[in-house]
Amino acid sequence: MRSLWRTTEPTLLRDVALICLADALVGAAFGATAVAGGLSWWVPVAMSLLVFAGGSQIAAVGVVLAGGSPLAAVAAGAVLNTRLLPYGLAVADVVGPTNVDGPAGVDGPAGSPGGHWWTRLVGAHVVTDESVAFALRQADPARRRAAFWTCGVALFAAWNVAVVLGVLAGSVIKNTNAFGLDATFPAVLIALAVPALADLRTRTAAGTGAAIAVALTPVLPAGLPVLAALGGLATAWRPGRAWRPGRLRTAPRRDNTVLASSPASTPAPSQTDEPIGERRCR
């Protein structure tokens, strides 16, 4: 664990603190909205501790407050949470075994993330959009691990504290949308996604996915447009060209001639007595 904190940079702590502040506003709005809508105080608190997925929690509570059944609420949250499956695959090296500086036969160094089964369980619980985004922005494995765990643990604490404060304020704040807190969560996701839009293919895929989600939002239940947006990845796919043995490749030369690079195109010395330079001049 000491090695984890040694690889944590001040800039990372600053960025994580800003993300926690923004998500804390959403958590407070979620707790206040749930209680103001008529739910018991323990419902948003328990969801935050056991589910810890802001988008899914908001979707599930929204279904219940709109008159939907608990089963429909669970389904809406589960559908929205399916995006965490590829997230988990993307950070498997961070959550899973490390085997860095650990003794032989041990899954990882004692006290380090990924060294025991319970750290994998905790790591899977704190897989969020933000923690994965921070991890994937790091190239070094140690920095990836530090970014993931720092963001995940800090965000878990900030979110749950904010939800409790929102529950306490739920009797005062009747309309959270009037404060614009409902726009905080998508704004945070956009801020995290913008640095990843570095090339044209990525921007095209992201734009196509966003257009699909916006177009399907009026006709599909909550959560499904997000999954349908994955169709934008099709615009980034490029079919690979299989290399065929014996295929001739040409390259320009200074004398404006084009010579084949295949060994078969160059006669063996035993086939003729003329020097290669004289044949080229002809």
Question: Distance between CA atoms of 102 and 146, rounded to whole angstroms?
Answer: 17
CB 50 within 8 A of CB 74: no
Phi-psi region of 246 (alpha: psi -120 to 50; beta: other; left: phi over 0): left
Per-residue pLDDT of the chain (282 residues), as tens digits, is 555 555 567 888 999 999 999 889 888 888 888 888 888 999 999 999 999 988 888 878 877 887 777 877 887 788 778 888 888 888 988 886 554 444 444 444 444 444 578 888 999 999 998 899 999 988 888 889 999 999 999 999 999 999 999 999 887 776 766 776 656 556 655 765 777 788 888 889 889 988 998 998 888 765 567 667 778 878 877 765 443 434 444 444 444 444 444 444 444 444 445 554 444 444
Q: Tell me 108's DSSP state.
A: S
User: Which long-range contacts does 253-257 make (Cβ < 8 Å, 24+ apart)?
Assistant: 255/280
Query: Which of 187, 167, 228, 224 has the alpha carbon at shortest distance from 18?
Result: 187
pLDDT at 95: 85
Residue 249: both structure tokens together: 């490749």
Query: Which of 1, 27, 140, 152 has the alpha carbon at shortest distance from 84?
Result: 152
Angle (CA) 80-134-161 rounded to 5° is 65
In sequence order, the β-bridge partners of residue 258 are: 252
**One-letter identity of residue 277:** G
Question: Distance between CA atoms of 24 and 60, rounded to whole angstroms?
Answer: 19
- Residue listed under structure tokens 């796919």: 237
| pTM as predicted | 0.62
pLDDT at 114: 47
